[in-house]
Copies of this chain bind each other. A is one copy, B any other.
Amino acid sequence: MGRATMQDVALRAGVSRALVSLVMRNSPRVSPQRRAAVFAAATELGYRPHAMARQLASRDSTVLGVLVSDLHNQFFADLVDGVDQAAHEQGFSLLLQTGQRRAAREEQVIDTLLSFSPAGLVLLGPVVATRIMAAAARQSPVIAVTRSCRHPDIDTVTDDSEAGARLAVAHLAGLGHRRIAHLDGGNGAQAALRRRGYRAAMAEAGLAPLIVRSEYTETGGVLGARALLSSAPETTAVFCSNDLNAVGAIAELEDHGLQVPADMSVVGYDNTALAALRHVSLTTLHQPRHEMGRLAVELLLDRIRGNRDTVARLQLEPTLVVRKTTAAPRSAATAAARAVDGAATSPKREVSA
């Protein structure tokens, strides 16, 4: 099944190989007759330009290398989808590998991707050291999504997680909650920012923060909620590190006989498809995942095409999506009283799950 080459098409159309090349690249300097003849010959032979040979010869690639941390996470799957859309529109193809949240593997994957001389590299939620990313950036433009890093050669797209956390706290406090806990994202990307935003917002509202160590998983939510109930049962609202975590927390709360939102309000983060399910209907912070993927590609292409040589750090504002897992506490007055009490006796509490 030897595939047809330009030479074959040229022979069949009775022209030179160079002319076929011009036709395939839509050069305007070709007469209509020749063009038609070439196209005819090409379709007859089932000719298809050889992308790799083309890129080798022209020295510019139409491939974007994509490192995605984990496709099991809906959040990243959506990012990839956005990246794919934008890339497809611009005529780029994706060379994709998963990093499994392991730095060593990510390093290897980046190496493999670079061996294809891609036009650029898109890193979705990388955990690898900045040093490695910087090294890659010397071979090919790099953009990191959901990973803020301060290197001058690496563009980034993130959401303003600190602002998101503030929105969550403001929403809950606005409903009358005083005992608002946070199940955090541990060492995960953006987790530190969400913690910081939570702390700041709580302080500004004159409330005592309570951070429970957790992680970006359902199990993390289950364990976090369990720890919370045993150590601070007076809590009336919890801001979870992401949607998955929130769903786990809700399950655990319900197992303990608590009703959401009557007994406990819950806020997630990401607004994944999960949160939108009517059966879940989670109040959460929306990150425009699809849009983030698109923007990453656009920024990368700007860099590739030389339209920009300064670093880009795009930070998107999350928005609050109110659904059915948040409500005023059973008695706002009671909750307020307990909060004052709690703040007086323990201005700062930390629990580990």
- Asked if A232 is at the interface of the complex by the 8 Å CB criterion, the answer is no
Size bracket, chain A contacts? 35 or more
Q: Are B114 and A98 in contact (CB under 8 A)?
A: no
Q: Are B72 and A84 in contact (CB under 8 A)?
A: no
Residues of B within 8 A of A53 (CB): 56
Question: Which of A87-95, A189-197, A335-343, A344-352 faces chain B?
Answer: A87-95
Q: How far is the CA of A98 from the CA of B89 in the complex (A)?
A: 12
Number of copies: 2
Residue of B48, B117, B277, B279 touching A3 (CB-CB under 8 A):
B117
Q: Are B55 and A84 in contact (CB under 8 A)?
A: no
Q: Are B279 and A254 in contact (CB under 8 A)?
A: yes
- Asked if A248 is at the interface of the complex by the 8 Å CB criterion, the answer is yes
Q: Write the nearest CB–CB distance from A140 to chain B, whole angstroms.
A: 8
Residue of B55, B80, B139, B251 touching A1 (CB-CB under 8 A):
B139
Q: Are A278 and B56 in contact (CB under 8 A)?
A: no
Q: Write the nearest CB–CB distance from A336 to chain B, whole angstroms.
A: 30
Residues of B within 8 A of A78 (CB): 71-72
- Asked if A234 is at the interface of the complex by the 8 Å CB criterion, the answer is no
Q: How far is the CA of A114 from the CA of B50 in the complex (A)?
A: 9
Residues of B within 8 A of A138 (CB): 1
- Give a binary string over A257-295; 1 marks a CB under 8 Å from any B CB, 0 the rest: 000000000000000011001111000000000000000
Q: How far is the CA of A51 from the CA of B118 in the complex (A)?
A: 10
Residue of B52, B113, B279 touching A280 (CB-CB under 8 A):
B279
- Give a binary string over A47-81; 1 marks a CB under 8 Å from any B CB, 0 the rest: 01111110110000001001000111010011011
Residue of B3, B50, B93, B252 touching A97 (CB-CB under 8 A):
B93
Q: Are B278 and A222 in contact (CB under 8 A)?
A: yes
- Asked if A7 is at the interface of the complex by the 8 Å CB criterion, the answer is no
Q: Are A278 and B218 in contact (CB under 8 A)?
A: yes
Q: Are B71 and A114 in contact (CB under 8 A)?
A: no
Residues of B within 8 A of A117 (CB): 3, 50-52
Q: Are B277 and A114 in contact (CB under 8 A)?
A: no
Q: How far is the CA of A50 from the CA of B94 in the complex (A)?
A: 17
- Asked if A112 is at the interface of the complex by the 8 Å CB criterion, the answer is yes
Q: How far is the CA of A80 from the CA of B138 in the complex (A)?
A: 30
| Nearest opposing residue in chain B for A54, CB measure | B115
Q: Are B139 and A72 in contact (CB under 8 A)?
A: no
Q: Write the nearest CB–CB distance from A127 to chain B, whole angstroms.
A: 17
- Asked if A175 is at the interface of the complex by the 8 Å CB criterion, the answer is no
- Asked if A302 is at the interface of the complex by the 8 Å CB criterion, the answer is no
Residues of B within 8 A of A97 (CB): 84, 88, 93-94
**Interface pairs (5), CB distance under 8 Å:** A50-B56, A63-B95, A93-B97, A95-B95, A95-B96
